[in-house]
Structure 1
Amino acid sequence: MRPADRSRTLQRRSRYETFEERLALTAQPLSELSLGMEQQLQHHYSELAPAEVVNPIGDFQLESIVDERVSHHANTVNSSAGNVHDLTGVNYVFNNYGFSGQGQTVAIIDSGIAWDHIALGGGLGSGYRVVGGYDFAEGDANPYDDGPSGFHGTHVAGIVGSSDATHRGVASSVDLVGLRVFDDNGAGYFSLVENALQWVHDHRNDFENPITTVNLSLGTTWNSDSVPNWSTLEDEFAQLEKDGIFIAVSAGNSFSSYNTVGLSYPAASPYVVPVASVDSTGAISGFSQRSDRVLLAPGGNITSTIPDHVFGADGNPNDFGTASGTSMASPYVAGA
């Protein structure tokens, strides 16, 4: 059996670039992708390694103005939640006031959630922590974070709400909803994100605890404080704002490409709260896109939950990996 915290680096290929620095885990080059009329989305993060995993899924690469493919925004990771929570004051609030997110539900629009993970409740549906969701990539009600490319959504979900004593999330008692907009190979589209946002509006009061927050750790190649003219998500964002739902979005990981202030999209939307990454010293991460309206949160070397398949399934869904990126910073704010 493989220890959940063994220390080795895993390099995986993803169909998206990360919003953080573009490390080894970025997806296939866009030139190798057949995007047709849809635009590629990307996650904002870096590489992944057991309890010290990093996976880069980056900016959404715009290939057309019709529908963008989605990517995750992550980079590299290596720090324990305990240390991060001490720096931000989360541990103080939890220990002195007991605030743990109980009574609220956070929707994670991402690659899905490995809902069988012990730190995420070990099941799906009423009575579990992951109370529901939908897989828009495959068209069913099981939003599991499947391989070979899945892990990003589970990592994000753990930052929000892991109940593990060592790697505790910001809101360790919050309920979660998984909305899967990336397929098994890491491909996703803005059309699926749009459907997921509409789903949140339609189902926000379906659960014992209402959906109060949405996290989007994804984006596309963009660097501005203005919304691109090809955007298709603004109506949905406006509706969720009317619903009183808070939307946290990763700022993007491409500062080194632009070297000027600006945000990826959808972080540039006026209806959302963009989140940039800071390192362990509180300095803004070099890869992080930024703006005068961002919130700052830890996004470097963040250890969180990952699916059992990532390091070779052993039947024990209790693995953790480390990653970096604005993908990791956004759920920190969503959990708060």
Structure 2
Amino acid sequence: MPTFDQLVTRVRRELRGYTLDQASMTVLSADMLAADTSFTVDLDDVTEVSRGLVEIDDELILVKQYDAQTGVVTVMGGTVGRGAEDTTAATHVAGALVTSSPTFPRSVIKSAINDSIRGLYPNLVVFDTVDFPYVAAQTEYPLPADVKDVWTVVGRWVGPEKVSGAMSNWRFNAEAYAIDFPTGKSIQLWTGITPGQNVRVLYTREPSALSANSDDFATVAGYPERVADLVVWDTAKRLLPSLMSARLQQTSVESTERSQLVSTRDISNAVQTYAALYAERLQQERDRMYQENPTFQTFQGS
């Protein structure tokens, strides 16, 4: 299953395939602490480091200058140059890539990925369940705080069949009394089953954002692994328009020449392509969501 780090790689692969980005890169030749105001890179590639923004792992750093004899790179403004552009100053180990003027920094891609994950809701919901025993004298039962809506409710029948039947007469209370229900969410059951038998509530919730590089998409976000391509395409769609404004700023020979090869119309076409791919796959997933998790009406066959 894809991790957060693997999703970033997939998005970058999509974007680089379009822009033919050939970033200037080198590697750290020594570990770097979060408070360091200089770092050392491979002498063979030190000239690849440019004044301005460089990226190491998820951190953006402002570079003042480098020493071609020692490979030492000085950070602009001391610690002020660490954690630029709302990134966080961090420790980096020897061998980490140092990328000059990244077109799409990892921190930006990560933020866009989480925006895409959150944007899937409510078109695609995350399903979860809660179980509790039915009590004859009790009508209302607590639900977790992350419940957005209740999808289906089933109750276990008595007997060797091990069957759970749909309970049709229930009401989701999103504003339950906090004194009785601390989460403020509850369900009222107006159709009973044999006391002591299990009730299972299938409910919907919003997806969770990814944080650590090792976060598994399906486990943390809550969506099936197959939904990852939707996140990748939507992230690419979100990030590509930033190239349009970049091409309006013709401050170098390179940008002037590239603007003739890749116009804003080309970028717009790419955005529309990703939007079309996204819309088609989203509809497929919505159809599948209802097929795999039928509502009570479908469950009953009506």
Question: TM-score, with normalisation over the residues of structure 1?
Answer: 0.20
> Which structure would you say has the larger Rg?
2
Higher fraction of helix: 2
Question: TM-score, with normalisation over the residues of structure 2?
Answer: 0.22
